[in-house]
Homo-oligomer: A and B are copies of this chain.
Amino acid sequence: MMFSKACEYGIRAAVYIALQSLEGRRVSVTEIAEEIDSPVAFTAKILQQLNRNKIVHSVKGPTGGFEIEREDMDSVKLNMIVKAIDGDQIYKGCGLGLKECNALQPCPLHDKFVDIRTNLKKMLQNTSLYELAMGLEVGLTYLKR
């Protein structure tokens, strides 16, 4: 609804990698896809994007896999992942589909829409991977059902 499927997988994958990195484990795409219940090859593509954007770190070869440095778990916020995968339509897009959102020639929904989008933006900017991984670790939240 709000994010593309690719973006949803990307966030779930990043949170899972963060959680495992906290335990000092590097994880493979196969394991990630298994644990977040996503298509393996598609997930691999998304992880490539996240790697290029320095959101996760990948290591090739045996004992390789994906990991996230402890300090990156704090500095990487959700908005970076969304931006890396879905681009900045979430920032620039008009709620009613006009070419771009523009306060000088606003669509009828502009004011109310901007209001909500601002909240969403703030939430994404303030939510770190670490924060999300913690809920998982404590067993309060789930990445699949």
Contacts and interface: CB of A to CB of B under 8 A. Distances in A.
Interface of A: 1-3, 5, 8-9, 11-12, 15, 78, 89-90, 93, 95-99, 102, 105-110, 112-113, 115-116, 119-120, 123, 127, 132-133, 135-136, 140-145
B127 A112 contact: yes
Nearest to A91: B1
Contacts of A140: 106
* Chain copies in the assembled complex: 2
A130 to B, nearest CB: 11
B96 A109 contact: no
A127 to B, nearest CB: 6
Contacts of A98: 142, 144-145
A75 B127 CA distance: 38
A135 B112 CA distance: 13
Given A90-B1, A141-B106, A12 B119 contact: no
B5 A97 contact: yes
A142 B106 CA distance: 6
A106 B145 CA distance: 10
B107 A142 contact: yes
Contacts of A113: 2
